[in-house]
Amino acid sequence: MRRQAVVATVGAVGRLATVSVGEDGAVLEVCWVGGRHARFHALWLRDNSLDPSTRGPANGQRLITIDALDPATRVATAEIGDDGTGVIVRFEPEGLTAEFEASWLEANRYDRPRRRDWGWTAAGVERWDGASMDGRLARAGYSQVCADPLALARWLAAIERAGVAILHGVPVRSGVVCEVAALFGHVRETNYGRWFDVRARVNPDNLADTNLGLQAHTDNPYRDPVPTLQLLHCLDNSVEGGESSVVDGFMAVARLHAEDPPAAHLLAAHPVRFEYRGSADVWLRAKRPIIEIGPDGELLGVRFNNRSAAPWTDVPFDDMPAFLSAYRRLAEIIDDPAMQVRFRLAPGDLFVVDNRRVLHSRTAFGGEGARWLQGCYADVDGLASTVRVHRSTALADTVADTFARRGAEEYLGEAVSMAEHMAQCAAQAEAAGADDELVIAALLHDLGHFTSDLGTYSAGATVDHRHEIAGATALAGLVPRRVTDCIRLHVAAKRYLCAVEPQYRARLSPASVHTLALQGGPMNTAEITAFESEPHHADAVRLRRWDEAAKDPTVTAPPLAHYLALLHHL
């Protein structure tokens, strides 16, 4: 049997169609296959050159300074490399030649429309209220996140996305909250110590230590920089009441802004003061706005804490009535039960909040029993670093490991192995000009066969192992939502196609016909409507067609390493 090689190409956006030099060499214009184009300034390109005299090969640090570059730097010549994956640029008067990869240019183009609307947030940030977060608070087991970097990354990614997540089964031992912080970053030590106790006391220095209810708040706004993460670990909670609740400050800001834009703008336009003098040796103060907006309009943070708010003296007299009204309205939104997600901490539970956005509180509790939490602070930069590393490394490692250990397994009686099927599916996507996300979705669409709690399919299986759900769950938070949506929907897409394209069913392999029955058969009308309301259903249908075509024993797909590079880039 002679195997036919599928030509490996990168996705369409990764290949260049044309390049041209304009404005006397001051600007390079790049057009990618597919029609996207962008301009780059010669000086910007030179400053960001990746050649080893510009960037240290070991660590990527820039070795040159901006004022050492000739301000008249221009692109003398620019040529597309042989395979269209890069452009070779010669800079004058310096005479340096450097290559820029098409995908690098794509990722770093700045000649593009950008969000500048007030209070925008990054694509991965999800705002929520009580209804939208109900039952969706990210939860994981402590032993699981300790043992499995991917489980850890998924749990951390939920904190990046929603600003809150819960861990169960944390050892009930004093100080262990710092060990949890060490899983992803570094404890921010303060005057409260590396960690601190929160218990009911009779003559407390801090309201958190009484049994009164607390208004939802961000912690320690009197510090600057404010701690960006807070961890709270429950060691005992045998009181009545004392439920925890969280509110998304970013959603509260969005609600205020939707209701009354000038009110939201006002809370961002003037700083306020916070102060803490709880003991003789501590006198902390900060002056920062309640709503922090970056220079490009991005919503960066919320500070809200009635207890430590000092007299506000930075708001001009004429603005003060409107400022206080806006503050009151924000407080009302925050106090609105519809904004809250409530949960009761049991011993061994721990929750983390992004203290730049998620407010936390607890209800009042009764005198019987005890309530003992331990808290510590940490910072999100370390958390984000850990997610990035695990996303790129642990995910790739896991995929490689799965392919190596399990890839040779039989694929439901088809003529190709599991690994061959998945790689062929990715190759089909590439050949169709799909972008990187869809190629990766194609590659990983059957990953759930290896991760399902119900085990691997066999050709004679009589129950559906829901491998599409298992795969999407394993990857949640680690790849873009579109990738997990395509994976989650690729079985539904088969049932959909069987319903709307009668001739499609005829093309299914016998194994696919067998599982179709287990999966519920062709969709009914209601199921079709629901499927078509999914934002990525069309991508899932495309993936499904590649899936069907990826069972050819005469074909050799590109090696996994080719796709791992794409995954890394994602």
**What part of residues 9-38 is at the interface with a copy of itself (CB under 8 A)?**
26
- One of 163, 289, 471, 477 touching a copy of itself (CB under 8 A): 289
DSSP label at residue 86: E
- Residue showing tokens 């599982």: 515
Identified binder of a copy of itself from the candidate list 306, 458, 524, 554, rule CB under 8 A: 306
- Contact segment (CB under 8 A) with a copy of itself among 165-173, 329-337, 363-371, 462-470 equals 329-337
Rounded-to-integer distance, Cα 445 and Cα 439, Å: 10
Residues 531-568 as b or e (16 or more Cβ within 10 Å = b)? beebebbebbbbbbbbbbbbbbeebbbbebebbbebbe
Pairing of strands 138-141, 164-168: parallel
Contact 432, 546 (CB under 8 A): yes
- With 0-12 / 13-18 / 19 or more C-beta atoms within 10 angstroms meaning exposed / middle / buried, residue 260 is middle
What single string gives the DSSP state of each residue in 301-318?
EE---TTTBPPP-SS-GG
Q: Does residue 260 belong to the site contacting a copy of itself (CB under 8 A)?
A: no
- β-bridge pairing 16-22 and 284-289: unpaired
Q: Which of residues 347-376 bind a copy of itself (CB under 8 A)?
A: none
Q: Quickly tell me which residue has 């069972």 as its tokens.
A: 551
Q: Does 271 bind a copy of itself (CB under 8 A)?
A: yes
Pick from 476, 496, 478: nearest CA to 542: 496
Task: Please list every residue from 212 through 231 that binds a copy of itself, using CB under 8 A.
Answer: 215, 222-226, 228
- Is 216 in a helix, a strand, or coil? coil
Residue whose CB is less far from a copy of itself, 188 or 551:
188
User: Does 316 interact with a copy of itself (rule: CB under 8 A)?
Assistant: yes
Cα gap 323→311, rounded to integer Å: 13
| Smallest gap from residue 381 Cβ to a copy of itself (A) | 5
Nearer to a copy of itself, 82 or 281 (CB): 281
Give me 140's structure tokens. Answer: 């994981």
**Residue 311 found at the interface with a copy of itself (CB under 8 A):** yes
Q: Is 168 in the site for a copy of itself (CB under 8 A)?
A: no
CB of 393 to a copy of itself, least distance (A): 7
Indicate whether 197 belongs to the interface with a copy of itself (CB under 8 A): no
Q: In this chain, which of 109, 139, 344, 505 binds a copy of itself, going by CB under 8 A?
A: 109
- Contact pick of 175, 321, 510, 559 for a copy of itself (by CB under 8 A): 321
Interacting residue with a copy of itself among 295, 337, 367, 535 (CB under 8 A)? 295
Question: Does residue 64 belong to the site contacting a copy of itself (CB under 8 A)?
Answer: yes
CB of 515 to a copy of itself, least distance (A): 40
Please, is 250 exposed, middle or buried when counting C-beta atoms within 10 Å of its C-beta (0-12, 13-18, 19+)?
buried
The candidate with the shortest Cα–Cα distance to 447, out of 414, 416, 477, 483, is 483
Contact 423, 443 (CB under 8 A): yes
Give which of 152, 205, 132 is closest to 352, Cα–Cα: 152
- Terminal-residue alpha carbon distance, the chain: 36
The reply on whether position 70 binds a copy of itself by CB under 8 A is no
CB of 96 to a copy of itself, least distance (A): 17
Q: What is the CA radius of gyration of the chain?
A: 28
- The DSSP call for residue 246 is E
Distance CA 429, CA 541 (A): 12
CB of 416 to a copy of itself, least distance (A): 34
Whichever of 284 and 518 has its CB closer to a copy of itself, that residue is 284
Q: Binding of a copy of itself at residue 132 (CB under 8 A)?
A: no
Per CB under 8 A, 338 contacts a copy of itself: no
Q: Which of 63, 338, 517, 538 binds a copy of itself (CB under 8 A)?
A: 63
**CA-to-CA dists, residue 390 to 184, 397, 442, 477, angstroms:** 10, 9, 21, 11
Q: x-or-dash pattern for a copy of itself, window 377-416, by CB under 8 A?
A: --xxxx-xx--xx--xx-----------------------
> CB 398 → a copy of itself: shortest distance, Å?
16
Nearer of residues 60 and 135 to a copy of itself, judged by Cβ: 60
For 117, 190, 485, the CA distances from 120, given in Å and listed in that order, are: 6, 31, 24
Pick the piece of the chain touching a copy of itself (CB under 8 A) from 158-166, 274-282, 474-482, 542-550: 274-282
* Binding flag, residue 258, a copy of itself (CB under 8 A): no
Q: How far apart are CA 519 and CA 525, in angstroms?
A: 16
Closest distance between a copy of itself and the C-beta of residue 540, in Å? 31
Interacting positions 482-521 with a copy of itself (CB under 8 A): none
Rounded to the nearest whole angstrom, what is the least distance from the CB of residue 385 to a copy of itself in the complex?
Answer: 5
Establish if 117 lies at the interface with a copy of itself (CB under 8 A): no
Smallest separation, CB 554 to a copy of itself (Å): 40
Among 9, 85, 190, 363, binds a copy of itself (CB under 8 A): 190
Segment interacting with a copy of itself (CB under 8 A) among 6-14, 153-161, 267-275, 409-417: 267-275
